[in-house]
Amino acid sequence: MDLKRLKQRGEFEWEVPKSGAMRVPGVIFASRELVEAMDEKVREQVTNVAGLPGIVAASYAMPDAHWGYGFPIGGVAAFDADSGGVVSAGGVGFDISCGVRTLHTGLKLADIEAHQARLADLLYARIPAGVGSTGALRLDAAGMAAMLKGGARWAVQEGYGSAADLPRIEEHGCVTGADPGAVSEQAKQRQRDEMGTLGSGNHYLEVQVVGEIFDAAAAGAYGLAAGDVVVSIHCGSRGLGHQIGTDYLREMVVAAPAAGIALPDRELACAPLKSALGQRYLGAMRAGINCALANRQILTHLTRAAFAEVFPGAKLPLLYDVSHNTCKEETHSIDGQPRRLFVHRKGATRAFGPGHAELPREYAGVGQPVLIGGSMGTASWVLAGSAGTGERAFGSACHGAGRAMSRHEATKRWHGRALIDELAARGILIRSPSWRGVAEEAPLAYKDVGAVVDAADRAGLARKVARLAPLVCIKG
C-alpha cells in the first residue's frame, strides 16, 4: 500500500483522509511493515465502506486486513439506524459467525506426548472435516427451526455439552432476534446434515500447548499456565451461512437503487436497517450466528468424547467462544453519548474491555478473551480486550494472521504431502482429507501472526496474554 496516501496518526494507526463520497475517515491499525505489505485494494475497500449511509466515526481495518468481498477482511464499521444506517451482507461475510472456541484439557505437554499420534488419529476419525463433510446428525424441519432459534442452548438441550458452557459463549450461546422463516429452504437444505462438521478452507481443530505468558493476571483469570494443553476449534455456519449471504446479496443489489443507495461497489450491496429487507436479513443472519454456535457446541461434544477415550476422566471445560463475521446491535459511546449501533465485524472479533456487562463474572476484571487463530504450523494467541477499546474500534480486534497470498498461488508453491512431513518433523501432526487443502493453508501463505498480534497490542485493541503452539491439527 502506498503510504503517501495515508496520514499517520500514531506508530500503529493510519488514517485514510476523507475525500470524495466518504462520510467518515478510514483508519487502519497496523505497523508500517504490515501496511506496506497490504494490497492497495484494502485502502480502496476501507474508502468505499466509509461512503455507506449512516456510518459512524470511521471505517476501520484491523492489522490482519486483506482484500475481501465488499468489506476488507479485517474490516469493522458501525451504522446508526436512526441516521439512515444500513446493514450489508458483504460486511458480515459468507461464513456467518465463523469463530474460535478454546477448551481446557487439564493436561500438560508431558501427558500428551506419548499419546499424540493416537489422539490425532482418533480426532480425525471422529471430527468430520473437508469439502462436503457431513455429520451423524440430520435435522428435520422442526429441528432445523429449533436450532436456528436456539443456537448452542439448543445443542445443550439436545445433550451436546452442559449448561456450564453457555456463560462462556458470546451472547450466552444464543443471539436473540433470529428468524428461521427469513432463511431460504435452499440454505436449510444445505445444512441438514452438516451439523457437527468442520468444513474446509482455514477451518481446523487444533490441540495446542500454552507457551509464553505475557499477562499473568489475565492468564490466571482464564485458567492458563505455561505447559497447559488446550484445544481450539475454528469453524462457522457451513453451507447455511454461505447461502444466506448469497441470497441476500443478490436481493440487496437489486433493491439498493430504489432505496436511494448508490453503491461504489456492487459487492457492498446493503439495505436500510429500518427497511423490510434489512430486517429480514438481520433475522436470517442471526439465525446463521446461532447455527455456528450450535455447530461448535456439537464439535465440542465430539472432541470431549474423543479425549475421554485416550484420557479417561478428561472434562475439557470451555475457556471461551468468540465469533467473527457478524453484525451485532450494541451500545457504544460516541462523542461522550451512548448510541445504539449495528457493528459489522468481518474477519474481526469482539474485544470488550474490563468491566463490560457482557463478560462472564470471572473475566470481568481482566477483559474478554480474544482468540486469535494461527495457520496450521504457526502459533495461535489468547489476547484480552483492553480498557477503552470501545472508544476506538467499537471494541474490536483482529481475528487471525490474514492471508498474504491466494490459495491458488499457495498450491503452486507448496505440496501438501511435503508440508505434512515437514510439520511432523517439527512435532506437529496434521490430519486432513485433502493434500491440496493443506497446501492452500501453508503457514507461509499467511502473514506473520506474531507481527499482527504485536500490532493489535501496541495499537491498544487488545493485549497479549498467551501464545499457543500447535501439536495436532485436524484440517478441513
Query: How many domains is the chain built from?
Result: 1
Give yes or no for a contact between 328 and 212, defined as CB atoms under 8 angstroms apart: no
For the cut 90, the answer to whether the pLDDT of residue 352 exceeds it is yes
Look at residue 403 in the predicted model and tell me its pLDDT. 83
- CA 218, CA 209: separation in Å to the nearest integer? 17
Residue type at 380 in one-letter notation: S
Highest mean pLDDT among 131-135, 307-311, 419-423: 307-311
pLDDT at 317: 98
Q: Side-chain half-sphere of 3: how many Cα atoms within 13 Å?
A: 14
Please name every residue paired with 344 in a beta bridge, in sequence order, or none if there are none. Answer: 77, 327
Sign of the alpha-carbon dihedral angle for 216, 220, 225, 229: negative
Give the pLDDT score at 425: 96
Q: Is residue 275 part of a domain?
A: yes
pTM: 0.96
The residue segments making up the domain with residue 449 are: 3-85+95-475
Contact 102/411 with Cβ under 8 angstroms?
no
> For residue 143, is it within any domain?
yes
Question: What's the pLDDT tens digit per position in 28-78?
Answer: 999 999 999 999 999 999 999 999 999 999 999 999 999 999 999 999 999
Report yes or no on 197 lying in a domain: yes
Instruction: Work out whether strand 318-323 and strand 99-108 pair parallel, antiparallel, or are unpaired.
Output: antiparallel
Residue 159's pLDDT is what? 97
The answer to whether the Cα torsion of 79, 457, 445, 437 is positive or negative is: negative
d(CA 402, CA 399): 8
Burial of 165 by CB count in 10 Å (0-12 exposed, 13-18 middle, 19+ buried)?
buried
Residue 155 clears pLDDT 80, i.e. is over it:
yes
Specify the pLDDT at position 135.
Answer: 84
436 pLDDT band, cuts 50/70/90, is confident
Q: What is the mean pLDDT of the chain?
A: 95
Size of the chain in residues? 476
Please list, in sequence order, all residues whose beta carbon lies within 8 angstroms of the beta carbon of residue 59, skipping any fewer than 6 positions away: 16, 22, 24, 25, 26, 27, 46, 47, 49, 50, 75, 76, 77
Q: Is residue 315 part of a domain?
A: yes
Among 417, 260, 391, 394, CA closest to 328: 394
Please name the amino acid found at residue 94.
Answer: F
Per-residue pLDDT tens for 16-29? 999 999 999 999 99
The answer to the question of residue 62 being in a domain is yes
132 pLDDT above the threshold of 90 = no
Evaluate whether residue 420 is within a structural domain.
yes
C-alpha cell at 175: 443471539
- CA-based R_g, the chain, Å: 21
The answer to whether 209 and 228 are in contact (CB under 8 A) is yes
- The pLDDT, as a whole number, for residue 389 is 60
Taking alpha carbons only, the member of 448, 403, 460, 410 closest to residue 65 is 403
pLDDT digits (tens, 9 = 90+) for 356-406: 999 999 999 999 999 999 888 899 999 999 976 667 899 999 999 888 888
Which whole-number Å values give the CA distances from 139 to 32, 134, 192, 341, 441, in the listed order? 49, 12, 5, 34, 31
Residue-wise pLDDT tens digits, 88-117: 999 999 999 999 999 999 999 999 999 999
**Digit-coded pLDDT (tens) for 267-282:** 999 999 999 999 999 9
pLDDT at 185: 98
* pLDDT (tens digit per residue) in 169-192: 999 999 999 999 999 999 999 999
Assign 3-state DSSP to the chain and report helix, strand, coil percentages, each to 5.
40, 25, 35
Residue 90 lies in a domain: no
pLDDT at 390: 64
Q: Is 399 a catalytic residue?
A: yes
- CATH code of residue 433: 3.90.1860.10
Q: Is residue 49, in this structure, part of any structural domain at all?
A: yes
| Active-site pick, 301, 332, 356, 399 | 399
- pLDDT grade for 445, boundaries at 50, 70 and 90: confident
